[in-house]
Structure 1
Amino acid sequence: MAQKTEITPLGLLEVDEKVSADMVKAMQYINQRYVPYTSDLDNGNYISKPVVHVILAGDHLTKQNADAAIRAKANEDTSFERLEGLVPVIVDFHCSTNFNDVIFKRFYNSCSQCDSGSLFHLRNVVHRTNVTKSALGDKYRPCNTFIQDVLDASIIAVGLHHFSLHTEEDMPASIPTSFLSNEEKQDWFDEQLLNIVDTYILNESPEFHNMLQGNLQNPPQSPVVPQPIVCQMPRCNHPPFKRQHDLTEHFKKYHGISVCDHREKSGVNAVEQHQEDYVFNYHSAFLKMGLLEHDFQDSVREGDGKRTCHLGKFKMLHFKEAQRYKYSLEALKLQFDLQALQSPRVGHRMMWNRTVNVTGGAGKNVALDLNCEHYVRYAISIWVQM
């Protein structure tokens, strides 16, 4: 994977992939020109079969149109006419862009500009004006760089907190003064790393465990109807509020008290109401998704197709939770192709033929669809100059 890839541009077709007839025409051209077929005699009839399957890699829209073109020719007589030698596959750059957008939709909110530690607050602190609420399209690069910077800062903060380091001169107190061997040093390092992962990343709130135990021990119940947000002050007949913030402003404007004052007068301890560390939970959830995307991009740079496909299983669950059902289904279909639907030979090529190394060198691979986007931009720049 560190070797420079030999690339042969095959030219451009004057077709529109959004038009079904044009997409079928393009698929037939590729099938006739680049897929070798052989004819075998079966019961007196010659049956054509593809000698080698050609993998067509692209983004989700291209794969969706290619699948539709193949289905449109499914009732033809021969395998050549049915385009059986072509295998459309979705690759990884557009998967990363959509997963970054899922991260932003979950953690980036302009209403949290006063919440210290939130992505929007950190964006204002470091003055990243090119970061927006969407990570798609041309905004992918600044948003992805911002996510990686926040992830690096969170990892550093985790290390400082775990080893109780408050200043630059502090030294970790938990490090032994000496190690008997390199194996003992490695065991200590592994133990600390596992403690960090269990404490700061692979943790869940008590409410999650209580909910899980309740689902295991009790049958499913009807969803709980949320209680209306109303003012609890005596002789206040204000209608229910839509947001908790509106109730807070109501306390200040009409009753002249803050939320803390109202809790003290109501006999509620404000400290008990906020026992859970929401900032910690926020960044712990961010670390889960940020590290997953970081590992995914690292596997693409190294050309490690096996690790890329393995991480796609976890992305599939996040896409489903974020209601990105098309990418979730494509991630599921990829696992079906690798493990059951395709032959071992085709599955091996689908797993490892996902990147290209344009310059040569370790860690210099890019996804096939990203390399195609570079060619598209280059072609457009030439047309504009003509």
Structure 2
Amino acid sequence: MDGKINGDNLDLYVKTNDIRMNNKNRDLHYFASDLTFDRVRLDHLEDAAPLGDPNNVNVQVFIPSADEMTMYRKSLKYLIGRELAQSIKGLEWMNAIIPTHIPHDMEKVMCERSKIFWLPLQLKNEMYHDQCIQIMNELEKHVNTIYTKAGRGGDLEKLKIVVGGDQMTRCNLQSAKNLRRGCYNQTERLEHLHPIIMEMFHTLMDFLEKLFKRFYSKDGGRDAATLANMKMLIQRTNVNGQVKSRFEAHEEFVLLIGKAYLLVLAMKIFKMENIEDSPKHPLLKNNMKYLQNKPKEEVFDALMEEILDCSLVPFQLDEGTVNVKTVELEVSFPATGQKVNVTGKIEGNTITFPLCVNNRSYVFSAPKENICTKSGWRLCLPTEFGVINMTVMQTRAPLDDLKNYVHNFIQWYYVVLNFKDTMKEGDIYRTNMLLKMMIPFFYSHSALSKYFVECIDYILKTEVMLSPRLSMRIRLSSYVNPKGGKGKNKAADMQKENEVRILKDLIRGLGANKTEHAIVTISKAAPVISDISTNFDRALKIKEGGTTHKKRDDRTDLITLVNALKKMNIWSYVPGRVLSKSNKVSETPFKFDKNMFKLSILTTVDRLKLGIPISDLEEEELEGDNEDDGQ
């Protein structure tokens, strides 16, 4: 059984009692790592040829396929059903047909307990390339030592140990490895440490950060039904838009607001006046609770499809696949001030429309981009009575900023809701599907978004560049299960963050004038100390001081939000409804140039195939460069 190394930086500010010229307060930047062994043998999978053709990578690889979209909708039905059954008493019958854990092919493997072994703390800062090389050298030594002592020295020739970390860790370690490409042997070239990939928890964190940058505005408290307004309504003072410093608070807030929006939509569909009312729908019967599971499933599926049809907007790469065949046009005659409304047909990039002028019928054709501009398409029609000037433009209904805001937000909410359940279940198939879903979301924020690149890198490696065996190892090792059990997986980097927290507590316990030797010594003892503490508590039957069972019920907050949102008709079109202070967004997150999107993906792929890490640019500098004016 092989394994995977997970690494993360350990940053600590150390104060000293006796401040001198040569002894001051210090910022410590170290590197912590662990080795997690694989939970399943994959010897039956091929380990020679790559999964795809690295020389011919199609952009469709990074877009969810029809089967993956079906998987996405199916999982959303269960997740939405859970939320509705939990909050609406008349829909509790759904609990009988909604699985506690969404099934997948690897669920038995992901229930097994992970074997995690801490590696010694390295007093190196991953921000510097020279120290990154030393970090990789040290990890290479650990791998050689472990396999040699285990009597598997002969496996080193073909051994590949996956290395995982956040975006900064992946880029810096990949750069350090590139600097050693010209060395003489495998160990010096660091070939055993391959590939280096990103992790899921930091991906979700960055996704939430982009969500708040788009939807949260500190000045938008007076704009009804927005995040800032809802924050004030339920007094969530711990939400300030700084996701990385207060991740749990912001994650809970997003899930609560998304659930409130969803319940208001359900109340509209089920004709409910309030959340305590009984749902009314032609498919619902009085004896739903007592029906057999098969008719229940049919009704459940139809209801969830109706909700998804009203709220879900799938990403479509090809503009031509959008189901729009007609367009409403307005033809104005400046000389007389007369205006005529006509209906045009869209044929490719051309709009054709009929028009009657002076009792004669004409058919005009014009490029779509000319008519759909703000100024419209100006043309001159020569007739026997003279030249007639006219202007043709698309009829634009007044915008409803609030409905667009809610509809756009719910797309992000669905991804977050699905990703959280995917991490708990350790579903590797939904993971790849959700990463593909996230790519256009990250791109809509900025073409230079860091995790736009990381999602592409993960898909490229696990579906194209690597062998089936190594690809499956990467996907399975993205999650760990420290205690074992169904639905108790967590992202590997989240586990590493927990270990770093333990190390920090132990280092702080050394006192003010701690030395580096003492820090290294206590870090080596950290896993033993943690095990002794856990076993001691278990022997004395001391309950673990977790926070899951101590969380307060948020139903009061939820009802407050739902009652307020119900009055605002957030799911109904109200012409001219304006958000004055909040960020104005389009109805979907996908209002960007699809051709530029394809080009960005293919350019990124070409660089990643060469092993060139994308530099960590300040994406905020170009934020919104690829977005429409409506976003």
> TM-score, with normalisation over the residues of structure 1?
0.77
Quickly say closer, same or farther: Cα 1:275–1:173, change in 2 above 3 A: farther
Who is 1:352 aligned against?
476
SS in 1 for 2:163: strand
How far off is 1:216 after superposition? 4.4
Q: Deviations over 1:113-137 (max 9, x none)?
A: 11211111000000001101231x2
The equivalent residue for 2:208 is 100
CA distance in 1, matches of 2:266, 2:233: 22
**Aligned position for 2:413:** 290
Judging by fraction of residues, say which structure has more helix.
1
Q: 1:80: Cα distance to partner?
A: 2.7
Cα shift readout 1:126-185 (whole Å, capped 9, x = no counterpart): 0001101231x2221211110011112122212111111113243414213568864333
- Looking at structure 2, the residues matched to 215 and 315 of structure 1 have their Cα atoms a distance apart, in angstroms, of 31
**Whole-Å separation in 2 of the counterparts to 1:120 and 1:302:** 32
Q: Over residues 245-266 of structure 1, what are the superposed CA-to-partner deviations in whole Å (9 max), with x where a residue is unaligned? A: xxxxxxxxxxxxxxxxxxxxxx
Give the aligned CA root-mean-square deviation in angstroms.
Answer: 3.2
Q: Give the counterpart letter for 2:428 in structure 1.
A: G
Secondary structure at the counterpart of residue 496 of structure 2: helix
Task: For 1:217, give the aligned amino acid.
Answer: N
Counterpart Cα distance in 2 of 1:128 and 1:97: 19
Q: Which amino acid aligns with 1:354?
A: S
- Decide whether aligned partners of structure 1 residues 353 and 185 sit closer, same or farther in structure 2, where only a CA change above 3 A counts: same
Partners of 1:273 and 1:220 in 2: how far apart? 15
Amino acid at match of 1:103: L
Residues 70, 370 of structure 1: CA spacing in aligned structure 2 closer, same or farther, 3 A cutoff?
same
Residue aligning to 2:310: 199
User: What corresponds to 1:337 in structure 2?
Assistant: 461
- For residue 307 of structure 1, what is the aligned residue in structure 2? 430
Given the alignment, which residue of 280, 285, 295 partners 1:176?
285
Alignment of 1:8-47 (within 5 A): 8-35=117-144
Paired position in structure 1 for 2:255: 148
Residue equivalent to 1:190 = 301
Matched, 1:217 2:349: yes
Cα displacement string for residues 287-332 of structure 1 (whole angstroms, at most 9, x for unaligned residues): 1111101111211111112211220011111111111532111211
Structure 2 residue aligned with 1:260 = none
Q: Distance in 2 between matches of 1:329 and 1:340?
A: 16
Matched, 1:281 2:404: yes
Q: Is structure 2 residue 178 aligned with structure 1 residue 54?
A: no
The match for 1:371 among 495, 506, 526 is 495
Distance 2:111 2:222 in 1: 46
2:179 to 59, 67, 72: 72
Query: Which sections of structure 2, spanning at least 5 residues, go unmatched?
Result: 1-109, 149-154, 316-321, 329-344, 351-366, 376-394, 511-631
Higher RCO, Cα 8 Å, sep 6+: 2
Change (3 A) 1:277 1:308: same
Task: Give the TM-score taking structure 2 as reference length.
Answer: 0.48
| Whole-angstrom distance in 2 between the partners of 1:107 and 1:282 | 8
SS in 1 for 2:186: coil
Separation in 2, partners of 1:8, 1:37: 14
Contact 1:306 1:352 in 2 (8 A): no
Cα separation, partners in 2 of 1:182 and 1:358, compared to 1, 3 Å: closer
| Residue 336 to residue 185, structure 1, CA distance change in 2 (3 Å) | same
Distance 1:274 1:225 in 2: 15
- How far the C-alpha of 1:215 sits from its partner, in A, is 10
Give the 3-state SS of the residue equivalent to 1:16 in structure 2: coil
Distance 1:367 1:169, change over 3 A: closer
Q: CA deviation at 1:221?
A: 5.2
8 Å contact 1:27–1:66 — kept in the other structure?
Answer: yes
Amino acid paired to 2:171: Q
- The share of aligned pairs that are identical, in percent, is 23
Match of 1:116 in 2: 224
Q: Distance in 1 between matches of 2:160 and 2:118?
A: 19
Q: Distance in 2 between matches of 1:321 and 1:30?
A: 37
One-letter amino acid of the structure 2 residue matched with residue 11 of structure 1? P
Deviation for aligned residue 1:96:
0.8
Contact 1:94 1:369 in 2 (8 A): yes
8 Å Cα contact 2:180-2:188 kept in structure 1:
yes
- Report the counterpart of residue 111 of structure 2 in structure 1: 2
Report the Cα distance in structure 2 between the residues aligned to 1:32 and 1:309, rounded to whole angstroms.
Answer: 32
C-alpha distance in 2 between matches for 1:348 and 1:65: 24
The residue identity in structure 2 corresponding to 1:12 is: L
Could you tell me how far 1:353 is from its partner in structure 2? 0.5
Distance in 2 between the 1:274 and 1:217 partners?
22
1:335-365: CA deviations, max 9, x gaps? 1111221111110011111112223332222
Query: 1:244 maps to what in 2?
Result: none
Which amino acid is the alignment partner of residue 309 of structure 2? D
Q: How many residue pairs get matched?
A: 330
